[in-house]
A and B are shown apart, each in its own frame.
Chain A
Amino acid sequence: MTMHSITVTVNGEAEYLTVPSNMTLLQLLREKLAFTGTKNGCSAGECGACTVLMNGAPVNSCLVLAVEADGAEIVTVEGLANDGQLTALQEAFVEHNAVQCGFCTPGVLISAHALLKRNPHPTEDEIKLALVGNLCRCTGYLRIIQAVQTAAENGILNLSKEGGT
């Protein structure tokens, strides 16, 4: 397997790595860098548990090759809270009890975060559409949707590691 030298910034820290051609971004994050907050639910881009931000856009990291992330800025769930301070979005998930088993939660948070960044005041249908790629078997989605609405009302994403606000 051909190896490649890449540079990836994960949650604000630059990482210099040598990776095989067929390694996915998900494998890179979980198995080389131990960012295990990002979950593997299907390895096929069907469940959304592995969603991360790549240059600000949500991607299924199981469908992105690590070499494609060369030079990219990646944000995982570990990069949302700042020094233990939850973002308004995360706080809204606490308020609405929108977490159960927690396995889909990292991907859901990233998708919702990306939505609020590009559309700070989404409609209910826009929220549902933004989350359609993130499967959840526990919550029934309603509390997640309500949490995103609350976060939108509160307005502050507080994503310092990404350099945004």
Chain B
Amino acid sequence: MTVSKATFTSDPVGKSVPRVDVYDKLTGIALFADDIQFGPNLYYARLVRSPHAHALIKRIVTSKALEVPGVKAVVTGQDAPELIGMYLVDRSVLAGERVRYFGEPVAGVIAISEAIAEEATRLVEVEYEELPAVFGPMESIQPDAPLLHPDLGEYKVASFIFPEPGTNISEHFKLRKGDVESAWPRCAAIVEGIFRLPQIQHVPLEPHISVALWEPSGQVTLWTSTQSPHAQRDLIAQSLDIPHGNLRVVSPYVGGGFGGKAGVTMEACAVVLARAVKGHPVKLRLTREEEFVGTTMRQSLVAHTKIGCDAEGNLLAMETQYYFGGGAYNDYGVNIARAAGYSCTGPYNIPNVKGDSCSVYTNLPIGGPMRGFGMPEIHWGIEQIMDQLAEKIGMDPAEFRRRNCVKTDDTILTGMKMPAIDLVACIDKVTEAISLGKKEEPSAPHKKRGKGIAIMWKAPAMPPNPGSSAVVRFNEDATLNVEIGAQELGQGSFTVAAQMAAQALGVPYEWVRVSAPIDTRYSPYEWQTVASRITWTMGNAVKAAAEDARRQILEIVADHWGEDPNDLDIKDGKVISYKSEQEQPLQNMVIYGLPNENFEGWTGGPIVGRGMFMPTYVTNLDFETGQGTRAVVHYTVGAQAVDLEVDTETGQIEILKIASAYDVGKAINPDLVLAQIEGGAVHGMSSAFEALRFDEKGRPLNRSLVDYRIVTSVDVPKEIHGDFVETPLEDGPWGARGVGEHVMVQTAPAIANAINDALGIRFNDLPLSAEKIFLALEGLEIGD
């Protein structure tokens, strides 16, 4: 919305209106957490981090650090023995007796400046006794592996998560359907492979930052960059025994999250540090290096997957084991393994399935949610095997997918009926957009060209009952504020909230403001801005709140006119009667009501609409089989196809075009959907080349943006062809479902399939690199 152009958009749902936040973000006004000014009372904190991947803490001496002029306090794990966690409460806020990864916070120093705090961290003396460490999930599940969490059986855990105490397995999800053993002999083609993905980092441009203030009265305020203000209130309040009403989480704009700012990462540290210097706000901001060490990472995966089909190309059986390298704490990661378990086939109908999905502790950075939540990891192998099966039986890879992919009302692997979607339409769109199957000439003799396709599904992975709520309040001029608890991370949640409120009320889009920053003291409850759930669930709450306000307005005006509310409507900010053709502008009446005849009293008053939404229909799944009536709320599905060239002299890949199409139910803002699709395709492309690397002691090697490269402006594809189909979601607002994460899920396997098309070479392990491809062309393998 530019101030220079006054506009008036009626019925904004389905229109590509400008973002509500665009002006502030283009002029430097938009406030991020580190931009909030706290004045001279502010203290700064830095963390002392473990130099060992696995060790016992024998002794911590803080006296030298405390002697540094300007140091106000040093806090250690002994001062903060609390555990915290989303689904499994397994994580220390500051390490107690044991550190489990390089970089784990063991103490925090608070001082009058960041530089003094940093200097004093070097004077905190910590004596460690090193323990044997384990870095890979396959090594960690061995009986003789060092046990990372001897107390696993004691931790508080969600009812649907099943750790295996006495082992390093923090969650084991089992999916059993049909009988795989009897199905293998009937298969005309079987492909089996082991696929490995490394840990990768979200790399939001804004590093993690929190400012915490613990007042002597016991009131605690946390200003932070987070996707999860309300979830943080709940988790931190529970962990630190703060009454929920005394903990206020304030979160302005978030400079990118991608899952890395979901749940609780470093924020509880800031709160326990502030507890030591009551009355002073304490700012803890992570450096870029710490982002690669001390936040959550996408988990690594070792997938052992076997799939078979008959001669006509019908999938018959799948057996798969997923071992997620969850890092040192799996408090959130356990649910990634569960999600990968109940969606283990990818978007396919397979009558016989045996799937096991585990998250496994390792002595590496904490694994956690990242855009796609387990789906990019499992689709990497599945989508390559599907191509290989199609090739074996001589079928076109797109046709193979059309035949086997999930369709509306299919009974899927968990026994749930598939809500309405159209994945075939997505396949058709991308296939056509890149002329899949049509051989095209490379741009030079030393280059080879190839095309590939991959499809995906993903359900919001969350507890069964995460709720949303919204409030609509008016100003005298009938402009209105929509209050939500959903966060704006760049995806456009504030914009679609404004569109939906305007549409449901019957006022122009430009009349709506979104109440921000999100502040748990004032903003209505929202579980978290994760799982691509916001457009759907927040949208339902906003729609309900706006409809509630609309109903109140119509009743007042109907009473005033002596008409039936059912004969009235609100159009462009005016109440109109289809019967008497009267008009009543909303201005003033939404605050002051309307006078009765001859001013004999008044009707109405300030209008406040409220709405909420919570899915109530998700059921439990059987522990032994993963079967149940309704595993998830719904799935979003989509297809991507890639056209690329490989330079055979260098191994360099150039992506010429990515076509990408998803079934979004209803595009509330079509251009924002396309912006997600494009940005996600580039994120997905980047993810194929990214890897956190560690030395033999578990120390991260590439802890900077120079050593850990993400795609830049010169690397992007020449063209991204974004598209969508709209099969309405039964309980979505105007039929909408989420699409924010899905858009990067299958880009890496689509690239792998295109490379195979170009070279006839398969890569089972990520990351891809020019070096790896070049060596493979020479018939060599890269050592890792």
Contacts of B565 in A (CB 8 A): none
A138 at the interface (CB under 8 A from B): yes
Task: Tell me if A61 counts as interface (CB < 8 A to partner B).
Answer: no
B287 within 8 A of A: yes
- A90 B27 Cβ-Cβ under 8 A: yes
B91 proximal to A (CB < 8 A) = no
Stretch at the interface among B203-211, B457-465, B639-647: B203-211
State the CA gap A101–B204 with chains docked (Å). 9
Given the known A-B contacts A93-B26, A109-B26, A134-B713, are A100 and B288 also in contact in the complex, defined by CB atoms under 8 Å? no
Q: Give the interface segment out of A2-10, A30-38, A66-74.
A: A30-38
Distance A22 CA – B438 CA, assembled complex (angstroms) = 60
The chain A residue sitting closest to B29, CB to CB, is: A37
Question: Judging by beta carbons under 8 Å apart, are A101 and B26 in contact?
Answer: no
Interface assignment of B223: CB less than 8 Å from any CB of chain A: no
Q: Is the CB of A80 within 8 A of B255?
A: no
Central interface residue in A47, A131, A144, by most chain B CB within 10 Å: A47
A106–B26 alpha-carbon span in the complex (Å): 7
A140 touches B27 (CB 8 A): no
- 8 interchain pairs (CB within 8 A)? A30-B34, A39-B205, A44-B705, A78-B29, A101-B205, A129-B714, A137-B256, A139-B678
* B610 at the binding interface (Cβ < 8 Å): no
Contact B713 A137 (CB under 8 A): no
| Cβ–Cβ contact B28 & A78, under 8 A | yes
Bound CA span A142–B675, Å: 9
Judge whether B491 is part of the interface by a CB distance below 8 angstroms.
Answer: yes
Residue B253 is within 8 A (CB to CB) of chain A in the complex: yes
The answer to whether B342 has its CB under 8 Å from any CB of chain A is no
B4 cross-chain contacts in A, Cβ below 8 A: 84-86, 91
User: When the two chains form their complex, are residues A97 and B19 in contact, meaning their CB atoms are under 8 A apart?
Assistant: yes
Q: Are B28 and A106 in contact (CB under 8 A)?
A: yes
A132 touches which of B3, B30, B678, B713 (Cβ 8 Å): B713
Closest to B209 in A: A40
Q: Quick check: is A136 within 8 A (CB to CB) of the other chain?
A: yes
Task: Mark A114-127 against chain B: 1 for CB-CB distance below 8 A, else 0.
Answer: 00000000000001
Check A101/B255 contact, CB under 8 A, given A37-B27, A47-B205: yes
The answer to the question of A150 belonging to the interface, with a C-beta cut-off of 8 Å to chain B, is no
Q: Is the CB of A42 closer than 8 A to any CB of chain B?
A: yes
Establish whether residues A46 and B706, one from each chain, have CB atoms under 8 Å apart when the complex forms: yes
CB distance from A83 to the nearest CB of B (A): 10
Residues of A contacting B704 with CB < 8 Å? 42, 44, 46
Of the 9-residue stretches B61-69, B152-160, B576-584, B679-687, which lies at the interface with chain A?
A: B679-687
Mask of A40-77 contacts with B, CB within 8 angstroms, 1/0: 11111011010000000000000000000000000011
Q: Which residue of B lies closest to A130 (CB)?
A: B713
Instruction: A99 to B22: give the CA distance in the assembly, Å.
Output: 7
> Which residue of B is nearest A83, CB measured?
B3
A30 to B283, CA, bound (A): 15
Question: CA–CA, A85 to B26, complex, Å?
Answer: 11
Asked if A105 is at the interface (CB within 8 A of a chain B CB), the reply is: yes
Asked if A155 is at the interface (CB within 8 A of a chain B CB), the reply is: no
Known: A38-B28, A93-B22, A142-B678. A46 touches B288 (CB 8 A): yes
The answer for the CA separation of A103 and B30 in the assembled complex, in Å, is 9
**Is B489 an interface position by the 8 A CB rule?**
yes
What 8 A-B pairs are tightest by C-beta distance, nearest first?
Answer: A37-B28, A103-B255, A101-B490, A140-B682, A102-B25, A100-B490, A36-B35, A46-B705
* Assembled-state Cα–Cα distance A38/B35 (Å): 10
Asked whether, in the complex, the Cβ of A137 is within 8 Å of the Cβ of B258, the reply is yes
CB < 8 Å: which of A49, A76, A140 contacts B720? A140
Which of A90, A102, A103 is the one whose CB lies under 8 Å from B21?
A102
A86-B2, A135-B205, A142-B678 known; A41 vs B288 contact (CB < 8 Å)? yes
A80 to chain B, nearest CB (A): 7
> Are A105 and B26 neighbours in the complex by a CB distance under 8 Å?
yes
Any B CB within 8 A of the CB of A143:
yes
Tell me how far the C-beta of A152 lies from the nearest C-beta in chain B, rounded to whole angstroms: 15
How many Å lie between the Cα of A79 and that of B552 in the bound state? 45
